[in-house]
Amino acid sequence: MKLSGKTILIAGASSGIGRACAIELSRNNNHLIVCARRKDKLEDLAKDIHANGSTAQVEVCDVLDQDNVEALLKRLHESDKPLDLALLNVGDGPAFNMNKVSVTEVRDNLDINYQSLVNFLIPLIALMKNQGHGIIAHTNSLAGFIGLPMQGPYSAAKAACRLLMDSCRIELEQHGLKFVSLYPGFVATERVAEDGIPAPFEISEQEAARYMIRGIEKEKNDVLFPFVTASLVRLARVLPKPLLGYILKKSVPEDY
């Protein structure tokens, strides 16, 4: 599906990859519904969207507030514009030291990465099933394929998202719904710059957005990128676990 002249919801649009996707999509005469918590950031984004010739609808929304998300999707359902694509760029991946992390921190990480997806996914399925078509795309992570040192809770949450999207794809294809899982490697966002984790083969937010949009337009089930990092993850998944563990241990700081 060519993403031109479409109605598109972008969750997590105020910064990072979500914002980069909004800017990229604004060049193709789309109606972009941008949502996040920070209204000032969304309003600045809306100005850039209008400058590129598309229209913008600002929706302040906390992805962890189920009622908030459901109210937003109810408004979209009642509008006269079918929703062609929902791009769910929700989640966060701070470094975790499993020697020091608390139960609360792990639970909060699960909420921001998994529950935020669920909060959108369930009402979106009902909305798109009712209209007979639609694409739900979720920004996952290559970390969702293997358990990475210093990223255990994050990898676990992203793996849960991966399996949930896989199940939805199989169950709901008959209703005209498409599910695209997007798996970036390291992207030069503000969060990655601050977490202190090595980021080999890092790409820019703009490059990540282009990979994602191409994958969505081709309606691929899974979009893994960039090539080198994705290839390493594919290789890691077929290595014997003792060998993979030996390799990954080298990334753990000596004083950890």
What's residue 84's pLDDT?
Answer: 98
Per the DSSP assignment, residues forming a β-bridge with 7 are 31
Q: What is the pLDDT along the chain (256 residues), one digit of tens a residue?
A: 999 999 999 999 999 999 999 999 999 999 999 999 999 999 999 999 999 999 999 999 999 999 999 999 999 999 888 999 999 999 887 788 888 999 999 999 999 999 999 999 999 999 999 999 999 999 999 999 999 888 999 999 999 999 999 999 999 999 999 999 999 998 987 655 555 555 667 899 999 999 999 999 999 999 999 999 999 999 999 999 999 888 888 888 777 6
pLDDT value, residue 14: 96
CA distance 229 to 239: 15
For domain 7-249, the question of CATH label 3.30.470.20 is answered with no
What is the residue extent of each domain of the chain? Answer: 7-249
Q: List residues bridging with 85 in a β-sheet.
A: 8, 135
* Residue 13: burial class (beta carbons within 10 Å; 0-12, 13-18, 19+): buried
The pLDDT of residue 93 is 76
Tell me which H or E stretch contains 102: none
pLDDT the model gives residue 197: 59
Q: At what angle do helices 16-25 and 39-51 cross, to 10 degrees?
A: 30
List, in sequence order, every residue forming a beta bridge with 32; answer none if it has no partner.
8, 56
- Angle at CA of residue 251, ends 248 and 252, nearest 5°: 105
